Amino acid sequence: MLKIINRFAIVCLCCLITLIANAELENNVKELIKEDTTEWQLVNINYFPNSLSDSESVYQLSELFNGLLITSNQYQLIFNEKYSIGIKPINDNLIPNFRSLLQKELKRLNLTDHQQENQYFISETLSEQYNLNQSLVFNSDYLFLFINNEIILTFKNKRKMRQELANIYNNLNTAVLPLVDRYWPPEENDSFLPIPDEFNFFLKGIVQDDYLHAIKLKKYKKINLILLFSYSISGAPQLSLISLSEDFDFIDRMELGENVELEDGGIWNKYLIDENFRITIKKIESPYDGYKKTTIFLNQTNYIINENGIFVKLKR
């Protein structure tokens, strides 16, 4: 009986050692994959002229893929840390439409002289959830994904984008509080400096917002704040307040200045940011001919910035 018990104990000990070894190996593999993982940020959507029936399709794509956490390593493409697709390297096998779209993007990014750096991969399973084609391409700090036979999605290494944004932020001019409708409507020589348009989605802009210019505010606690001026796809000017973490991750965005065109006038925002970073936004309806119709006050909303950098609407 004693021999049986000893043998059983030895077997259990061996099993335990094997389980511990396997667990350590699994953890080591996870850590290795984690270290080699790249996080990607959507920066552009390109397509053939007249291939999309309406701008709503592009808008929906931008909302979907700009809202996803997309990471990759040499083995897989991972969505929101839950859904993954195995990938493997292959020789160039892009169909003509994808090759043409890729050329357009490489030209836009000034990477046409670096095509030899293209790394072609194929997904081992189809991504039915996101309607992606099996082909994907890496080049330098960029990832290119394809949808149907007519759309290319361009992503950039998010860590590199944060580093670039930090450098841009450090060189921005600083606006002094309080601000009362300052910079809105925009005027020339307002000390705003340009920001590359590829930061539009990073800063949660709408598809095809462009002409990005910014000025920074002094820090609120540990939160970085910028005023961002841009033009919408319709050509309307916009002024946004954006909060960023110490590491220049995006936190929140508030529209300070925007207008809605009406038949005989428009609805405008008037804003105030006081010395304590309390924000007040008033909406007014202003006629084109002030002599015939008076300006109408519509509503007022007050906000504060919480310790996490979120713009919180105050109750009345």
Rounded Cα–Cα distance for residues 253 and 73 (Å): 30
Contact 297, 279 (CB under 8 A): no
Rounded CA-CA distance 13/118 in Å is 50
Give the pLDDT confidence score for residue 107 in this predicted structure: 95
Q: What is the pLDDT of residue 290?
A: 58
> How long a stretch of residues is the chain?
316
Per-residue confidence (pLDDT) for residue 28, from 0 to 100: 41
CA distance 30 to 163: 26
Dihedral in degrees, nearest 10, Cα atoms 286, 287, 293, 296: -20
- Give me the residues of the chain with pLDDT under 50, please: 11, 21-33, 53
pLDDT value for 196: 95
Taking alpha carbons only, the member of 265, 257, 263, 258 closest to residue 290 is: 265
pLDDT number for residue 273: 97
Report the C-alpha gap between 248 and 272 in whole angstroms.
25
State how beta strands 119-123 and 83-89 pair. Answer: antiparallel
